[in-house]
Amino acid sequence: MDYKLIEKDSFKVIGKTKRITTLDGENLNLVPLFWKECQADGSYEKICSMAGGMGVFGICLDFEPNYEAFTYMIAVEDNGETPADFSSVEIPTARWAVFESVGPMPGAIQKVWERIYSEWIPATGYQQEEGPQLEFIHWVIYLLRIISVRFGFR
CATH number at residue 138: 3.20.80.10
Domain boundaries, position 64: 4-148
> Could you tell me if residue 71 is inside a domain?
yes
**Tens of pLDDT along the chain (154 residues)?**
888 888 889 999 999 999 999 999 999 999 999 999 999 999 999 999 999 888 898 999 999 988 899 999 999 999 888 899 999 999 999 888 888 877 777 788 788 888 988 999 899 888 877 888 887 765 455 555 444 333 333 3
> Could you tell me if residue 154 is inside a domain?
no
> Could you tell me if residue 153 is inside a domain?
no
Whose CA is closest to 60, among 148, 144, 127, 154?
144
CA 101 to chain centre: 13
Q: Which residues contact 74 (CB under 8 A, 6 or more apart)?
A: 15, 16, 34, 35, 38, 43, 44, 47, 56, 57, 58
> Residue 89's beta-bridge partner residues?
13
> Could you tell me if residue 14 is inside a domain?
yes
Look up the pTM and report it. Answer: 0.79
Looking at the structure of the chain, the number of domains it has is 1
Sign of CA dihedral 134, 135, 136, 137: negative
Q: How far apart are CA 68 and CA 49, in angstroms?
A: 33
Q: Which residues contact 69 (CB under 8 A, 6 or more apart)?
A: 19, 20, 21, 22, 23, 63
